[in-house]
Amino acid sequence: MTWLLVALGGAAGSAIGALLMRRPTGTRLLVAAAAICGLMGMLSAQLLSPKVTAVLAYGVLGSAASMVTMAVASPMWVGADAPVRSTVAVTKRLAVYCVVGVTFALLGYLAVRGGATLYRKLR
């Protein structure tokens, strides 16, 4: 049953990712990656039911994140040093996306955990 929920969420996430990637600019890709990672961080801090987590986290956000990752691929060059230039370009771009993703996932996690802690202290 869980795999069916992940598949349904994946279909929805692929549709969302396709809408985000209609005109993939660098800024749009970076903002989409930041939003997806922030939501993943928020969902990892929540104590939701496993079915909701399967649909939202693994299905929807996992598929949308893979769509963003596919759009990050850089164009190939033709020439003798093409493998080196392609490797350097992909490595730089991947490093930026990793830093943005980890930062926003941490911010999303801390926002939920901090808000829950503050709520308990003020209650």
| pLDDT tens sequence across 14-28 | 787 777 777 777 788
For residues 44 and 114, what is the distance between their CA atoms, to the nearest angstrom?
13
Q: What pLDDT shows up at residue 111?
A: 93
* Average confidence score pLDDT of the chain: 80
User: Which tens digit of pLDDT belongs to each residue from 96-120?
Assistant: 888 888 899 899 999 999 998 999 9
| Site of tokens 């985000």 | 20
Does residue 70 have a pLDDT over 70?
Answer: no
Cα distances (angstroms) measured from residue 31 to each of 8, 14, 20, 100, 117: 25, 17, 10, 9, 28
Does residue 78 have a pLDDT over 70?
Answer: no
Q: What pLDDT shows up at residue 103?
A: 93
Task: Name the least confident of 63-67, 68-72, 119-123.
Answer: 68-72
